[in-house]
Amino acid sequence: MKTNAEILNNYLGLLKNLSQETKLELIEKLAQSIKTGKKEKESRFEKSFGSWNSDKNPDQIINEIKGSRTFNREIESF
């Protein structure tokens, strides 16, 4: 497995022939991806622990779920 330094050196080898303007654009895009990437990761993490919003109490919700269940006990013939 390659180390981070080896990976970075490979990328630098690919990028060395780019113009200065292109390199600056790349730097800007990398910096922007770091800023937005951190915010996206935080919001995804926070969303994964969302709460249930309802005016009903837990017993009402449980009764509603149990009441909506349907059972089909008909045996189909072969």
CA atoms within 13 Å, Cβ hemisphere of 6: 3
Taking residues 42-63, report their average pLDDT. 75
Determine the longest span between alpha carbons in the chain, in angstroms. 77
Taking residues 21-25, report their average pLDDT. 93
How far is CA 52 from its chain centroid? 20
Taking residues 14-24, report their average pLDDT. 91
User: Which H or E element spans position 71?
Assistant: none
Q: Average per-residue pLDDT in the chain?
A: 82
pTM for the structure as a whole: 0.42
Cα gap 63→55, rounded to integer Å: 14
Cα gap 77→59, rounded to integer Å: 39
